[in-house]
Amino acid sequence: MNSGKPRPRIVVAMSGGVDSSVTAALLARQGHDVVGVTLQLYPGEAAKRKGACCAGQDIHDAKRVAASLGIPHYVLDYESRFRKNVIADFADSYARGETPIPCVRCNERVKFADLMETARELGAEALATGHYARREEGAEGAEHPAAPAAARDQSYFLFATSRAQLDYLRFPLGNMEKREVRAIAEELGLVNAAKPDSQDICFVPEGRYSDIVRKLRPDAARPGEIVDLAGKVLGRHDGIIHFTIGQRKGLGLSGNEEPLFVLKLDAARAQVVVGPRSALGASAILLREVNWLTQARGSFDCAVKVRSMRPPVAARVTPLPGGAARVELLAQEEAVAPGQACVFYHDGRVLGGGWIAASEPAQVAAE
């Protein structure tokens, strides 16, 4: 530990997992005045469920880690904010026929908004998280390079982070791999050193997201028709909330000449439009709510990711009025789903990104 005067205070968002725990440990080892904060996001029995950040056991784990590190730890009740800004938005998105990413909304509207304000009130010079992401000082301020370990890079989920928020954030794990993080946790004897990563959306028990949507937006579960591109009725479904663009299984259709995939979800008509895989390709995307880390002054070439686990592809981005943008893909992408994000990269740095509002089929965009 640093024996000199403590460095400035840093608040660490501690979810109870190994990543945020090691983040706190590394900063404490560097001599920072570290304060751990855990957000309680679930009421009652939901808070006792294991396997999701900010659940009951996770709060307990965060407390034990903080105690072992000798740092103060606080639990903040953010249930109402999380319900309004993340869970309700999640249900609304599915009701519109989209495939949402609630982790991005949580970062944007809770962790990097309300929690950041709390960190400032605690006199902290920065808020640190356990994301596998990086922040560097550039000529025009904070920049957001992707993490070098591509399999762990979480820059996609941070695309909505503003330049002002990025100025205040720190990502101590950005240049590390998971095995290194676990090794540090074991070396320090942290109680969660071997704790598995959460695989599900934190507020969705056992992955049944349709239960949440049905409860909050009952109309989204109304049954409807499964039709082909010509409008021919091929079957029926129990609600568009059970489907996503590119889905093949669970359609309940058989006897077709070739496999059918979900091409479009029409919420107004409660229709699921299906077609062959060849119709899944898109060569242009319309974005809304675009966030810029580097302000564009016109069309530019870059690489884009349309899903978190897909590799970047070459594209040309054109900013549009009203916070929108048009992305022309140089090679078509399959199953581009409204509600997902399209993130812009150049030389390994995040330039910005936006929410996918619609896509143009490859054959239409080529005409």
Q: List residues with catalytic annotation.
A: 106, 202
> What DSSP string runs through 297-353?
SS-EEEEEESSTTSPPEEEEEEEEGGGEEEEEEEEEEE---TTSEEEEEETTEEEEE
Contact by Cβ (8 Å): 253, 260: yes
| Residue 210, burial from CB neighbour count under 10 angstroms (0-12, 13-18, 19+) | middle
Contact by Cβ (8 Å): 56, 40: no
Tokens representing 1?
């530990």
As a whole number of angstroms, the distance between CA 248 and CA 227 comes to: 14
Q: Element (H or E) spanning 115, and its range?
A: helix 114-121
Contact by Cβ (8 Å): 292, 354: no
What count of Cα atoms within 13 Å lies in the side-chain half-sphere of residue 254?
Answer: 2
